[in-house]
Structure 1
Amino acid sequence: MYKVNLIKLFTFSLLQCLLLGAPIQAQDRSEELDRLIAFARLAGDIQYFSPTDMVNNMVLPDGWENIIWNGVRMSRITANERDFVDSLARYFRPIEPSLQLTYAGEKITTAPQRVEKELTVSRQHKGLQLYTGRTGAFKSIRTDRRSLIADANLSYFDFIRIRVPQGQAGKAYEIKLAYRSEHNRLLKCYVNDTFKEDMNLAASDSVYIQRDTIPQDADFYLIKLVFSESLGAFSLAHDGFIRIGGKKYSIKDLTVEEVPASIKGVEWRMIGNDQKLFDEVNEIGDTLRLQLTGQISAEFPLAVYATKEETYPLAPVSAVHYPYNKGLPKNLYFDTEIQNDLNLRLTNVILIWNVFRIAFVYNPFDEKSEIEFLRHTLNEVLEGKDLDDYDFTLRKMLHAYKDAHIFYYNKLQKGKYEFSAPITLIHLGDGFYVKKVHDESLDGRLKPGDRLIAIDGEPIEKRWKKQRYFATGSEANLINNAGVFGLLYGQSGSQVRLSFGDVDTKADKEITTVRNFRHPKKHLYTSFLERSDNRMLNDSTYYFNLSDNNLTDTLLRFIDDPTKHIIFDVRGYLTRDSEQKKLLNKLITDTVVQRNMLGYHILSPTNKKFVSGPQVYVPENKNPKAKFYFLMAESTQSAPETFLDVIKYWKVGTLIGKHTAGANGNINYQYLPGDISVTFSGIKVVNSDGTEHHRNGIPPDHEVGYTLDDVVQKRDPFIEKALEIIALHADKKL
């Protein structure tokens, strides 16, 4: 009895180790990190560059998130490096049958015999398309074979949606289809996401008879046509009738507005093999080689032979029966509780790191420093005490990539950084000052120009060392987002004790207030303008807040009036209306060809290049224009930077203010287990004169910033500078 209890205790302890992430025995931390890094590199490269059917199919069953999570657990409980190599072989050979592993010069696995087939399959990436977070600008495919990730972009259309005639449930039916296609088409029939049959349509202008059976007890019947955006020239229609149990019915007469949501229906998926994204491809013989540790090396092919049905060599198991992609909850993306699992925390770091090292266009690391960065980050997670430590580690990780287009969300932290003390701050070079007070109870105790000294007794200099990690990108962007719009944030309703230096007396003073204020995020940069509405500032000068307002008839009339001066305020974002109505085309008088955005063509971790594509802007008319002036600041980023790049380098108007954020280009979304998401830059941007844009932005023609006196007097030096320039031009004409 005593022995049985001991066995039960040992079994329970082992299970706890596997589930909670604790190693079975004390290990040298350095060796543990070596194995985690080796696993991370191999897993990421196979996931994104192996072209096998198994790698492709692993997108769907339980996903690569499960594979990485279980691999992290495996790496941490392996007793020694030799056993670790054996584990890698068991783990990855079913996914990549051609994987070769070597340990201390000994071949652990060898390449199978080559089987030559008529197709060659390899991977191509434009940026990086992620199954968990799709963005239209990015695409990942397998040449000459279907990529399941492309299913994420399929369109669904109700082809037939009918009420089943009484007494016809469970009976066979047929539908005559008329179609037109220039080449062969394959429709795959699915029922409840389970493949049922193929429908082969030969290239022609022809008919096809589809036969099937209506389910027993069905009141409704639904057929969905599913196709990709790259469908090409193709048409498909029924002849208007369905024959059920030998009886002919009009489909129009049976059609209903909708069917119950519980009915998924039949899907006819029209899916072809992926076409090349660009000319350069991996070919048979191209190999990815990795030195994972001092003793372990790995390699696998970047291109394999295939038929229309399978890649070769064949995998020893199917995706459904692969044993190492199980374990995480079915709702892993939204289950915040799984962040308590240490292995899951390590997994998310690895998932981020692999994506960023492959596709982040502003990657600041070389291969050596990249690995050291991963080591440092994993070690921080292992040493972290709680979920707040973990969250802060992820913030520091993203901060290290130095791009203001990186956004981070962790649902577990929601609410902690949404409410501010009722004060707007401004940074004046030597510190943070009060710009505006939003609580009447603080009137007389606090005023514009007071300098912030401490928060809850902690000096600002010390608080800022940690707070700066809550943003990324240029120093100006850190100050604006982590400082001006971040220093005073905290839990809703929480009290905060603030120490200030009085602007007049220079004496220290202290106030206690409540975090109950939300800054309007619409404008990341606040001015001192008492009015932000569109209006005439003098007889010839019109102010238009382009970050807040849709285009008006008055603005459009003034644009083509050469006697007018128009000041556009772009210290926030651009309205969607200004893009939809093509404001830029109304401002220019000559065609502009902008080549400042560079797409990322990726064939392997070491074979990547940037390719530019033109953006063309054609003037709406060539009429004489008004004089244009544009106010901009450190918070001006993304689409406004594309807009202002044309204004600057094609001399459309005068730029006044500060360098923009230097954070432009499309972004990729990555969703992680535990309800976490991050974004990263997927398109590189340069200024049109060839200068660096990243973290530098568009330089102004006239640099302007706030002084302490501006803050105290509530002046807007940006507007004043614009009016000064306009007056100077008027004087010259006189």
Structure 2
Amino acid sequence: MKLKLTLIVFTACIILFGCTQPKIEYFVRPCKFVCDYPFNDTTKWAITCRVWGLLKYYHPNVTAGKLDWDKVLLERLKGISYSSTPEMVNAELKKMLHAAGKYTQKKDRHWNDSLNMNVNLCWLDHSFLDDTLRQELKKIASLSVKYPSYYGIDYGMGDDSIIHLMPQHEKKYDLDVVIPSFEYCLLSLFRYWNVIYYYFPHKYLMDTSWDQVLNESIFPFIRINDKQSYEIAFLKLAATLNDGHAYTVHRSYLPVNLNAIEKVEEKTVIKIDKGGLNKGDIIHSIGKREIDSIRDSLSALISASTPGNKEYRINRYITEMVFFNETDVTILRNGQKLKVHITPFPFEYEKPYLYKRITKDIGYVDLPLLTTEEIAPMFQSLSDARGIIFDLRKHPRQPLYDMNQFFCYLSDQKVISIFLMALGHPEHPGAYLWKIPQIIIPDSLKCTRFKGKILFLIDESTQSALETIAWEARVNFHATLIGRPTSGALGRIIKVPLPGFWASFSGFALSSPDGSELQRKGILPDIEVYPTMESIKAGKDEILEAAIEYLNN
């Protein structure tokens, strides 16, 4: 049987399969913009980036794929680097516009509120661009874009085989070509910045305006001289999105189930007995660096939607530093400072249980491991349990099962409510439309509803589709959520091919039925549970124990 990702189910719904289709309603959230661009060494590059991006996503010849738009940019960058006056930069940008070619102008359209809020063109009126360029760019920005745009996002349009959304036809370059060429480094920055500008629905939630981020990123990218500085520049850039889906993938991930470090009461605490370290040991320093300095450095390189999720990710990097490298770790144990020399050693991971009985009356399911074929046997095995605990923690992978079949065992209702969704308007890059999707359980699907209590365990590691499952279970099946607020990075990701690697970000905006944001907030539990030094020293899973106690009482 073909397995379906939860996210594919969403896409099938989004692209007109089972979704209610009200009149067009735009997603409107005011963003912070930078409008003033007087000429200087920074703004000449920022304006170049913006002009190139506007033409890439709106000029009819470019959106039709008639030009290699990367090549057009690369041909202009050397001349712009030598340009010392506004007139010289305008001349280079006119060459770029001329390269795009002539087009047939249609009647100017009125910009909808969503587009005005997300893609403000105030920079055209308050920059060093001359009147000729300004007026021509405004005309181009007023055009509708034929879907699918050559460089735009392919939203699938009903094709549920598409797992990852991504910009189309982006050229790939070997990293040896990119470094140390300032032209290719700027191409990387400009590509990423414009994809975010036109397709990231959460710019309004960022701590720093994306316009300001561009200005601050120009010279760090121009000064890139090796692979490490290239990676660091992108990590810092992605971190400004404040998005838990903003990955920049250069290397392999850590082992997924190694939960070895926790931050408790502002202390970085060991959770396992390994390599001479004990549960409850407090890390003071790694090598010659104090742990607070390490955490601060990592924070600048890690993108996360919530403070809790950022601390969780920092803990994973510290886990790698401590247990996967030979190093000295200075700890505090029972009030005494000790230095422990760590030598890397293989970890033996316990084989996880897909489902089991914790007690005679309580079932446990590691939900992200579940597959479609195992849904019916799981519910049959636990059918007489007083309650089932579904664990949604510590799994970066998304669930691989048919949501209809899973939900069928939890409710008699045929229509399952899910989030409000804001999706990119395919003909107007930068605008977003509200959709009100539903999951419809077909009449042909017959299940015996589970009649016991339903609990879901969540914490700051619970992200993306796992967050949506928790929310849907509470809203539709009266499930109780126990643990800590989730990651706050919801919806499908958009993957961006970049020279040398790929990046990603949250491509949809998901909201509660009242329109309130879930991005950067996460799903809040009904019962909050936080770790303590005592629970860590005792090796307890405090969230699971709270769930068992809840069911027993």
Same fold (TM over 0.5): yes
* Structure 2 CA distance for aligned equivalents of residues 383 and 531 of structure 1: 47
CA shift for structure 1 position 402:
0.4
Give the one of 20, 28, 42 matched to 1:33. Answer: 42
- Pair 1:654 & 2:494 matched: no
Alignment partner, residue 281 of structure 2? 450
Q: 1:96 to 1:496 in 2, by over 3 A?
A: farther
The unaligned stretches of length 5 or more in structure 2 are 1-37, 116-120, 146-169
Read off the aligned partner of 2:547 and give its amino acid letter: A
- Pair 1:78 & 2:83 matched: yes
* Structure 2 CA distance for aligned equivalents of residues 698 and 493 of structure 1: 33
Q: Is the 8 A contact 1:404 1:472 kept in 2?
A: yes
* Structure 2 CA distance for aligned equivalents of residues 512 and 638 of structure 1: 38
CA shift for structure 1 position 426:
1.6
Q: Is the 8 A contact 1:38 1:292 kept in 2?
A: no
In the TM superposition, 1:392-431 aligns within 5 A as: 392-410=232-250, 414=251, 424-431=260-267
Alignment partner, residue 194 of structure 2? 354
CA shift for structure 1 position 708:
0.9
Give the one of 618, 624, 627 matched to 2:441. Answer: 618
Q: Is the 8 A contact 2:422 2:432 kept in 1?
A: no
- Pair 1:379 & 2:200 matched: no
Give the one of 694, 716, 719 matched to 2:544. Answer: 719
* Structure 1 CA distance for aligned equivalents of residues 225 and 494 of structure 2: 31
Alignment partner, residue 477 of structure 1? 309
Give the one of 506, 509, 514 matched to 2:338. Answer: 509
Give per-residue Cα distances to partners, 1:451-503, cap 9 Å, x unaligned.
1111111111111111113321211111111x22112436997522211111x
Q: Is the 8 A contact 2:463 2:490 kept in 1?
A: yes
Higher relative contact order (CA 8 A, sep 6+): 2
Give per-residue Cα distances to partners, 1:114-139, cap 9 Å, x unaligned.
x78xxx5999xxxxxxxxxxxxxxxx
Alignment partner, residue 462 of structure 2? 636
Q: Which has the higher helix share?
A: 2
* Structure 2 CA distance for aligned equivalents of residues 461 and 364 of structure 1: 30
CA shift for structure 1 position 49:
1.1
Q: 1:583 to 1:96 in 2, by over 3 A?
A: same
Q: 1:293 to 1:450 in 2, by over 3 A?
A: same
Q: 1:476 to 1:90 in 2, by over 3 A?
A: same
Alignment partner, residue 421 of structure 2? 597
CA shift for structure 1 position 516:
5.4
Q: Is the 8 A contact 2:461 2:487 kept in 1?
A: yes
Q: Look up the SS of the partner of 1:487 in the other structure.
A: helix
Q: Is the 8 A contact 1:72 1:347 kept in 2?
A: no
* Structure 2 CA distance for aligned equivalents of residues 424 and 492 of structure 1: 9
CA shift for structure 1 position 364:
3.7
Give per-residue Cα distances to partners, 1:58-93, cap 9 Å, x unaligned.
45xxx3233333333332122422122112112222
- Pair 1:464 & 2:295 matched: yes
Give per-residue Cα distances to partners, 1:365-404, cap 9 Å, x unaligned.
7999433221111122334564423321211111011000
Return the index of the structure with the highest Cα Rg.
1
* Structure 2 CA distance for aligned equivalents of residues 577 and 395 of structure 1: 29
* Structure 1 CA distance for aligned equivalents of residues 126 and 226 of structure 2: 30
Q: Is the 8 A contact 1:631 1:656 kept in 2?
A: yes
In the TM superposition, 1:44-193 aligns within 5 A as: 44-52=53-61, 54-58=62-66, 63-97=68-102
Give the one of 113, 124, 135 matched to 1:290. Answer: 124
Q: 1:383 to 1:337 in 2, by over 3 A?
A: closer
- Pair 1:555 & 2:386 matched: no
Q: Look up the SS of the partner of 2:221 in the other structure.
A: helix
Q: 1:69 to 1:622 in 2, by over 3 A?
A: same
CA shift for structure 1 position 356:
0.7
Read off the aligned partner of 2:247 and give its amino acid letter: F
- The count of aligned residue pairs is 471
Q: Is the 8 A contact 2:410 2:450 kept in 1?
A: no
* Structure 2 CA distance for aligned equivalents of residues 622 and 82 of structure 1: 74
Q: 1:707 to 1:688 in 2, by over 3 A?
A: farther
Give per-residue Cα distances to partners, 1:267-325, cap 9 Å, x unaligned.
xxxxxxxxxxx9x99xxxxx99823624535233346799xxxxxxxxxxxxxxxxxxx
Q: 1:668 to 1:623 in 2, by over 3 A?
A: closer
Q: Is the 8 A contact 2:86 2:128 kept in 1?
A: no
Read off the aligned partner of 2:534 and give its amino acid letter: D
Read off the aligned partner of 1:487 and give its amino acid letter: I
Alignment partner, residue 362 of structure 2? 541
Read off the aligned partner of 1:32 and give its amino acid letter: D
Q: Is the 8 A contact 1:395 1:470 kept in 2?
A: yes
Alignment partner, residue 390 of structure 2? 568
Give the one of 386, 405, 430 matched to 1:582. Answer: 405
Give per-residue Cα distances to partners, 1:383-437, cap 9 Å, x unaligned.
4564423321211111011000111123xxx37x7589x9821222412111114
- Pair 1:390 & 2:230 matched: yes
CA shift for structure 1 position 342:
1.9
CA shift for structure 1 position 94:
2.8
In the TM superposition, 1:261-276 aligns within 5 A as: none
Read off the aligned partner of 1:724 and give its amino acid letter: E
- Pair 1:671 & 2:497 matched: yes
CA shift for structure 1 position 30:
7.3
Give per-residue Cα distances to partners, 1:216-251, cap 9 Å, x unaligned.
xxxxxxxxxxxxxxxxxxxxxxxxxxxxxxxxxxxx
Read off the aligned partner of 2:127 and give its amino acid letter: T
Alignment partner, residue 4 of structure 2? none
Q: Look up the SS of the partner of 2:518 in the other structure.
A: coil
Q: Is the 8 A contact 2:474 2:481 kept in 1?
A: yes
CA-atom RMSD in angstroms: 3.7
Q: Is the 8 A contact 1:636 1:661 kept in 2?
A: yes
* Structure 2 CA distance for aligned equivalents of residues 366 and 291 of structure 1: 25
* Structure 1 CA distance for aligned equivalents of residues 102 and 351 of structure 2: 68
Q: Is the 8 A contact 2:207 2:240 kept in 1?
A: no
* Structure 1 CA distance for aligned equivalents of residues 260 and 530 of structure 2: 17
Q: 1:581 to 1:452 in 2, by over 3 A?
A: same
Read off the aligned partner of 2:312 and give its amino acid letter: N
Q: Look up the SS of the partner of 1:38 in the other structure.
A: helix
Identity of aligned residues (%): 18
Q: Is the 8 A contact 2:422 2:509 kept in 1?
A: yes
In the TM superposition, 1:245-256 aligns within 5 A as: none
Read off the aligned partner of 2:317 and give its amino acid letter: G
Give the TM-score, by structure 1 length: 0.58
Q: Which has the higher strand share?
A: 1
Q: 1:652 to 1:621 in 2, by over 3 A?
A: farther
Read off the aligned partner of 1:432 and give its amino acid letter: T
Give the one of 494, 508, 511 matched to 1:683. Answer: 508
Alignment partner, residue 275 of structure 1? none
Q: 1:580 to 1:632 in 2, by over 3 A?
A: same
* Structure 2 CA distance for aligned equivalents of residues 122 and 289 of structure 1: 19
Give per-residue Cα distances to partners, 1:601-627, cap 9 Å, x unaligned.
26556x623311312243855746221
Q: 1:96 to 1:428 in 2, by over 3 A?
A: farther
Q: Is the 8 A contact 1:596 1:685 kept in 2?
A: yes
In the TM superposition, 1:293-304 aligns within 5 A as: 293-294=127-128, 296-297=130-131, 298=134, 299-300=136-137, 301-302=139-140
CA shift for structure 1 position 448:
0.5
